[in-house]
Structure 1
């Protein structure tokens, strides 16, 4: 059987992809949180004026 010659389904490859996926999701959520805080600060600044 000539399945998985590239080892794309090996445990280490799957673990690496999962780690990278979690890292990217965390990075994206941090960026979204930073943007949300910035928008809240701008809204609060507008309310104070």
Structure 2
């Protein structure tokens, strides 16, 4: 079975917000997909709408 929308490459911020990560996502450079804890720590300090 093939899934068309591959979500494995979404940055940690987009994964947290459950949205599609665009190719030019400004947060992808700061919150890579393999480091979700980094985004969670930032979210605890600043909340999502302030990032």
Shorter-normalised TM range: under 0.3
TM-score, normalised to structure 1, is: 0.26
Relative contact order: is structure 1 or structure 2 higher (C-alpha 8 Å, sep ≥ 6)? Answer: 2
**Structure with more of its chain in helix, by fraction:** 1
Bigger radius of gyration among the two: 1
TM-score, normalised to structure 2, is: 0.25
